Every structure is written in structure tokens, then in C-alpha cells.
Amino acid sequence: MRVLITGGAGFIGSHLVDALVARGEDCTVLDDLSRGSRDNLAHLTDRVTLIEGSVTDQDLVEDLAPEFDAIYHLASVVGVRSTIANPAQVIEVAVTGTANLIRAAAPDAAFLVASSSEIYGRSVATPFDEQTPGLLGPPQAARWSYAHAKACMEHLALATGSTSRRPASVIRYFNVFGPRMPRSVDPSVITVFLDAAQAGQDLVIYGDGSQTRSFVFVQDAVDGTIAACERGSGAVVNLGGPQETSISDLAEQILSTTSSNSTVQRIALPAALGLTSEEPHRRSATGVLAAELLDWKPQTSLNEGLQTTWSSWPA
């Protein structure tokens, strides 16, 4: 089967490519390398075709997309700082890129759109199921452009169900972590903590550290992604679980995993980022629909995932 993976040179995307290649799929990656890296695919040598380009390039997408039996659309601008710095780019990549792909894809191709738990915004109705309404901040706050853009992507994907093409699948990732996480472009909290622990620097927590997240190891996320593309046509599925870990506990687990002598420092959230009252305090998923529809639930504990991630961490 011929498969296109947008954003396939990125963190989650490259692990997805690994899994698809291992299954014998003929994989092509479309990535503008703004966040991804050729190094993430170097071990696959000539087993993958990498095309450097953007999903916003309509001519490129129209020439490329119709050839494939399945499209995994993971391309996105990711990260709070990147979102605040350039909200227009976030929206263009998400909305224009998704529309380009949907229009160009073969009508019978399997089509998966990767969304995010960010679409729940500041909702406190945790753990979330797929019908939980999002509580997004106003458009005047650039921080919310990513969440609004992801919601638009989902609308575009789900609208395919009323057309003559095969209905798309939508997944919502919950705080995916693992080897190859970006370290320089808007790194995640786990990346920042691992780098600090490695360097013997303080692990900085914004606020009191009681805020919680549901962390999902990348291989579990990949397994759910493939299952959703194959079995979740027309559905929206959370790829997360009900287990929540506080940021304080995460910091302590990372100190234990790395055997670091670093300490934890708690500071106020920087007002300059405009996030003081915008960050959700809790975020987790029921996991019920993923279990019923995809036979999926996270298999890797946070401790095991951190051990695997740390063992791969560059010096």
C-alpha cells in the first residue's frame, strides 16, 4: 500500500513512519523540515521517499496526494511559543494544508487528521470524552490560535462524511513523549526537564506544580494512530488515558530516572507570554471510545517511557 505521511520527519511522524515501513508499506514523507529533521529518517535510508515541501503548497499537494491509498496528516506548527509568535502561520498550515489534502486525496483513500487535546481548552470536565465541549479563549489571545485551528481541521475532516469521498478519521493526541522529541524548537516539558537534569540545572516549574497531564508514550500513540486510520473512519478518538500526573511528580520522576542532583524551582508563569490565566489545570481522557472502537489503551507506563526516552537522550 502507498502511504503519505505529512510531518513524517517530525517526532511522532517519524515513529509512525518506522511502524509503517516495518509493516511493509511504501512510504512517502512530506515535510517542510521547520520542526522535523532528515536525521529522524536517516536510519531508513532508501526505504522512504522524503519530499521537502509544505502542505500549504496547493500545486505540490495536488500533484502528490492522489497517488496514495492512505494519508496520515500530522503536519502542524506545534508549541505554545511558536503559536504566540506566529498565529497566522499556525492557522494557515492547519486549515489551508488540511483543505488542500482533502481536495487532492483520492476519494477512496484512507485519510487521518491528527488533532490535539488542546481543543478542550480550559474545560474542567476531566477526564474528557470525545463529546466534551471545548472552552477556548478569545481570538484576541494568540495562545488559542492553535486550538481554534485544530478545531477547524476537525470540521474539515468530518465534513468529508457528507461528500462522495471516504470519511476521514480524527485523533486527538494527549501529551505524547519519547525519543526524538524536539529539543530546540518549542520543547515540551519533558524535554526541558531532561535537558535540565542532564546539565545539572534546576527543573523550573511554573506555578505550584499541581497542574496535571495525561502523558502517552510515542509508540502507544503510533499504534493508536494506525488503528484509527484503519478502523476509525468518520470518528473522532482521543489517544490518551485517565491517569493524570502532576508536573511536580513528573519532575521528581525525571530526577529519579536521570539520577540527577538537580533541584526543583517553582516560579510564577511569565506574564510576558500572556499565559497567566490561560493554561488548563488538568487534562486527561476517559479512553473509553479508543478501547471500544480501536481496541487501544496506553500500554507503556510513564516510568517505563521515561526510562526508554532517557536511554536515547543525546549527550
Tens-place pLDDT, residues 246-281: 999 999 999 999 999 999 999 887 664 555 446 788
Q: Which three cell numbers stand for residue 16?
A: 509512525
Q: Who wins on pLDDT, 3 or 277?
A: 3
Q: How confident is the model at residue 27 (pLDDT cuts 50, 70, 90)?
A: very high
- pTM score, whole prediction: 0.95
- Band (pLDDT 50/70/90 cuts) for residue 11 is very high
Predicted pLDDT at 278: 64
User: What average pLDDT does range 79-106 have in this prediction?
Assistant: 91
Measured distance CA(200)–CA(188) in Å, rounded: 18
Give CA–CA dist 89/282, Å, rounded.
Answer: 27
Cβ burial 281-302 (10 Å sphere, 16+ → b, else e) = ebbbbbbebbeebbebbbebeb
Catalytic annotation, pick one of 120, 146, 173, 206:
146
- Tell the residue number behind the cell numbers 476509525, with chain if given: 232
pLDDT at 87 over 80: yes
Q: Residue 130 above 90 pLDDT?
A: yes
Distance CA 88, CA 90 (A): 5
**What pLDDT sits at residue 271?**
60
Is 286 within 8 Å of 126 (Cβ atoms)? no
103 grid coordinates = 481536495
pLDDT of residue 276: 46
Q: Residue 102 above 80 pLDDT? A: yes
The hierarchical CATH code for the domain 2-174+216-241+283-299 is 3.40.50.720
Asked about 72 being catalytic, the answer comes back as: no
Confidence check: pLDDT of 17 > 70: yes
- The model's pLDDT over 213-247, given as tens digits with 9 standing for 90+, comes to 999 999 999 999 999 999 999 999 999 999 999 99
